[in-house]
Structure 1
Amino acid sequence: MFFAQYYLDCLSHASYLIADETTGQAVVVDPRRDVSEYLADASARGLTVVGVINTHFHADFVAGHLELADRTGAWIGYGRRAETEYPIRKLAEGERIVLGDVVLEIMETPGHTPESVSVLVYERAGDEVPYGVLTGDALFIGDVGRPDLLASVGVTAEELGAMLHDSVQHKLMGLPDEVRVFPAHGAGSSCGKNLSTEKSSTIGEQRATNYACAPMDRDAFVALVTAGQSTAPGYFAYDADLNRKDRRLYDSATAARALT
């Protein structure tokens, strides 16, 4: 298995390239808009990007799913509740994406957004315990994704918080302690309030140290994770909507329009 994390400090954003080196098939998860680094690494290793997964509609940046699909012909995957202007592969609970002996399995983990998914990574198809889980914005190192960002579009923080309680307390904390945790963001992101500077962890470490992973009932969880959240930046709703749209592709050769 080839597994790489790409961390963009200015966005506190982590994305991932996972591949089976025998078959050469690869998937990128939560890509940034400039996709050149993924493609360069894939080319250098003889890999072909066959799929792109966004764990949810990102609000803090415009993702690179359309750019990757345009450059490689890859399918674009989202959780089954997602609706977009462009063709997507809707990914449901338990669906397995076979790259060869390396297998990705979808776990629906709504709460930060209704369509959020996590991706279990199996180094070998027969493994009982996954190598790791890409948690998107459901579970961070030291925190969980804030459930209040969609309150302005008809889903309350309490409704999303109840979903997040099940996703974190039951699904993600139901994984074995040794499973590695790879989130989509680190310290500095406005998608949570207590994110660590660490870029990976384990389920066991989060069970022991993450305030939101301690056993508690739904009401206590919702009250805890919704308290003390900063005001969401004004561009979050704009970016989340743009990630649903069939927008213009990024072109590094095109100069930015000067502001007055």
Structure 2
Amino acid sequence: MLLKYFYDPKLAHASYLVGCQKTGEAIVVDPGRDIDQYLETAQREGVRLTAVAETHIHADYVSGARELADRVGAKLYVSDEGPAEWKYEYADQYDTQLLKDGDTFQIGNIRFAVLHTPGHTPESISFLLTDLGGGATEPMGIFTGDFVFVGSIGRPDLLEEAAGIMGSAKAGAHQLYHSAERFKGLPDYLQ
């Protein structure tokens, strides 16, 4: 399995390229607007980008998901959780798979299991990652978007403060608590 980490310190934004070296397929999780970095890395590593995924709708930066999917003809994997106003408006314009809690999909020999982890945003999902090609039967890592950080947890108040969605901070905090409780039940070795 190939794993590449990208970080934009100006936006405090992390994204990842995950590739199956056996099949040559790869996915980018939470791409930033500068998609050239993913295209260059995929070419250098000898993988083709067949998928793009987002953990949640990003209000603090412009996502590169649609542009990247359009450029390489990749499938989009996005959340179908949360209330109607939190659905991806462009989903019908691309080859999109809408994801719910418990869904799975594969990129080559890498399985992604979907967990609905609301709180930072209502539709937020996380991806449990299992490298089936390496013989694993249990997940080895998780992509949480802005739900969990090293030493911290996502902010539930941003929707109310930045977007003016009244009452969302308290509801988000309640959801975030339940998501964190669920997260605590996952294996300690997850990265």
TM-score by length of 2: 0.87
Alignment of 1:88-107 (within 5 A): 88-107=96-115
For residues 158 and 176 of structure 1, the distance between their equivalents in structure 2, rounded to whole angstroms, comes to 28
- Report runs of 4+ in structure 1 exceeding 4 Å deviation: none
> Counterpart of 2:118 in structure 1: which amino acid?
P
Q: Percent identity?
A: 40
For residues 129 and 103 of structure 1, the distance between their equivalents in structure 2, rounded to whole angstroms, comes to 10
Q: State the Cα deviation string for residues 130-166 of structure 1 (Å, max 9, x = none).
A: 1111111111111111111223235521111111111
**Does 2:82 correspond to 1:78?**
no
Q: State the Cα deviation string for residues 220-255 of structure 1 (Å, max 9, x = none).
A: xxxxxxxxxxxxxxxxxxxxxxxxxxxxxxxxxxxx
Shift of 1:49: 1.2
Q: 1:129, 1:176 within 8 Å by CA — same for their partners in 2?
A: no
Q: Residues 44, 94 of structure 1: CA spacing in aligned structure 2 closer, same or farther, 3 A cutoff?
A: same
For residues 90 and 123 of structure 2, the distance between their equivalents in structure 1, rounded to whole angstroms, comes to 16
**Does 2:139 correspond to 1:120?**
no
Alignment of 1:167-206 (within 5 A): 167-170=179-182, 172-180=183-191
1:13 paired residue number: 13
Shift of 1:84: 2.7
Aligned residues: 179
Which structure is richer in relative contact order (CA contacts within 8 A, separation 6 or more)?
A: 1
Q: 2:78, 2:88 within 8 Å by CA — same for their partners in 1?
A: no
Report the structure number with the largest CA radius of gyration.
1
More strand by percentage: 2
Shift of 1:129: 2.8
For residues 24 and 95 of structure 1, the distance between their equivalents in structure 2, rounded to whole angstroms, comes to 23
TM-score by length of 1: 0.65
**Does 2:165 correspond to 1:153?**
yes
Query: Which ranges of structure 2 fall in alignment gaps of 5 or more residues?
Result: none
For residues 36 and 27 of structure 2, the distance between their equivalents in structure 1, rounded to whole angstroms, comes to 15
What SS does the aligned partner of 1:84 have?
A: coil
Shift of 1:8: 1.2
Shift of 1:85: 2.9
Shift of 1:178: 0.7
For residues 102 and 22 of structure 1, the distance between their equivalents in structure 2, rounded to whole angstroms, comes to 10
Choose from 119, 132, 151 the match for 1:111. 119
